[in-house]
Each structure stands twice: as structure tokens, then as C-alpha cells.
Amino acid sequence: MQKTIDSMLNEKLKDYTIILASGSPRRQEYFKQLGLDFEIRLKEVEEIYPPNLKSNQITDFLSELKGKAFESQIKEKEVLITSDTIVWHKNQALGKPKNKQEAYAMLKSLSDQWHEVITSVCFNTKGSQKTESCITKVKFKRLESSEIEYYIEHFKPFDKAGAYGIQDWIGLIAIEEVQGSYTNVVGLPTHLVYKMFDELIE
């Protein structure tokens, strides 16, 4: 019987312990869909970055910062994956909104505009870090105030960078065009994760 690509990858990784340091159900689901055996480890990290950083410099820094929180705990043959996503719009990083007012302001600013969704993925092993990033361009239609209010009230996007999830109702009615990785906009560029695993075991 011919093995699938995913099971072949899992077979190659059999000597490694794969750890996902993320509480995001979307990232966890993607790891399952990739056919990977993994465990989850979580640690609170204060996500503060130097103000001079821009674009993927921010997500690179934060994904590496999250990895460094586990630095002394990573053993031989363990690979800990950390990640960070922002929405980059008008030279500004939009993270997770703290309340309804912030969510509304973010979505209003994205209305009828292009923006970038940027995710960095960091592979942390004993004594080393490797980080790569992915950028996807997304175009919103002009959003009515009533649509923004409806979305915030019913979907409460406070755990999502830029105050929206492409897989939610707003993605169905408002996103006109996507240039680049769709899974990146959901929260994890799966093609990049797969490539980094492949390079790890070469």
C-alpha cells in the first residue's frame, strides 16, 4: 500500500517529540490535518516588542520570544513550534482587540482596503531557533456599520488579530480577494510548517 505524504513525514519524525506551543484551536486543528503526532505546551508570555520593528519583524520577534520562554526546558529530539500573527495595515500592526470599541475601529479601518496578514513560525530545538514568515494580502469590501456591529456581537472576534476570522461569517460576505496562503489568514501557513519539518529531517 502506498503511504501518504503526511504519514511518510510522521514516520520520518518518529524520533522527535513535536510540541505546539499554542492554545489556538485553529492551529491545533491544522496540525491534526497535517497528520502530525504532537503535544501541546502553553506558557504565558507578555507580547511586547520594540517600537521600531515593522511588518514581519514584529511576528519574527514575538514568535522567537515565545520560544525563548521554553528555552531551558527543551530536550534533545524535541521540536517546539511557536507562532505569531498580526494584521499589517497602513504601517501599523493590528493585534487582538481588547474590547468591542477596538474591534469596531479595526474593522472600520480595514473596510474597502487591502491589508496584509503576517504569520511567523519558529522551530525551537535544544540550542537553536529557526524562523520563517508568510505574508498574505487580503481585500475587504466596504463594510456597513451594521455589518461590523452584527459580526462583533455574534462572533466576538477578540482572540483574532485584526478583529476578524476569514473562516467566519465576515469572511463569507466581505472578503473580495486573497493573494497568497489562505491558511495563513486563518492563523497558520501550513505549507511553511510542512516545509520547515521537511528541512528539519533532511
Which one from 84, 112, 168, 198 is the annotated catalytic residue?
Answer: 84
What does residue 60 show for φ and ψ, rounded to 5 degrees? Answer: -60, -50
Over residues 24-60, the pLDDT tens digits come to 999 999 999 988 899 999 999 999 999 999 999 999 9
Over residues 137-173, the pLDDT tens digits come to 999 999 999 999 999 999 999 999 999 999 999 999 9
Rounded to whole angstroms, the Cα distance separating 159 from 95 reads 9
Q: Is the pLDDT of residue 21 over 60?
A: yes
Strands 39-40, 17-20: pairing kind: parallel
Task: Give me the pLDDT at residue 202, please.
Answer: 66
Please report, for residues 100, 116, 131, 136, 141, the alpha-carbon distance to residue 119 in angstroms, rounded to integers and kept in the order given.
24, 10, 10, 9, 23
Task: Give me the pLDDT at residue 142, please.
Answer: 98
Task: Give me the pLDDT at residue 7, please.
Answer: 63
Q: Is the pLDDT of residue 9 over 80?
A: no
In the chain, pLDDT over 90 holds for what percent of residues?
Answer: 85
Rounded to whole angstroms, the Cα distance separating 62 from 82 reads 9
Q: 109: Cβ–Cβ under 8 A, 6 or more apart, which residues?
A: 89, 90, 94
For the chain, what's the residue count? 202
C-beta of residue 60 within 8 angstroms of C-beta of residue 133:
yes
- Mean of the per-residue pLDDT values of the chain: 93
Q: Which residue has the cell 474593522?
A: 107
Would you call 51 exposed, middle or buried from its count of C-beta atoms within 10 A (0-12, 13-18, 19+)? exposed
Residue predicted with more confidence, 3 or 197:
197
Residue predicted with more confidence, 8 or 72:
72
Residue 175, strand partner residues: 140
- One-letter amino acid at 198 equals D
Three-class SS state of 23: coil
Q: Is the pLDDT of residue 1 over 70?
A: no
In the chain, pLDDT over 70 holds for what percent of residues?
Answer: 96
Residue 85, strand partner residues: 119
Average of pLDDT values for 20-24? 94
Over residues 92-107, the pLDDT tens digits come to 999 899 999 999 999 9
Nearest to 117 by CA among 175, 42, 158, 72: 175
Q: Which residue has the cell 497568497?
A: 180
Q: Is the pLDDT of residue 3 over 50?
A: no
C-beta of residue 88 within 8 angstroms of C-beta of residue 162:
no
Q: Is the pLDDT of residue 23 over 70?
A: yes
What residue ranges define each of the domains in the chain, with the CATH number in brackets?
5-200 (3.90.950.10)
159 is known as an active-site residue: no
Rounded to whole angstroms, the Cα distance separating 13 from 15 reads 5
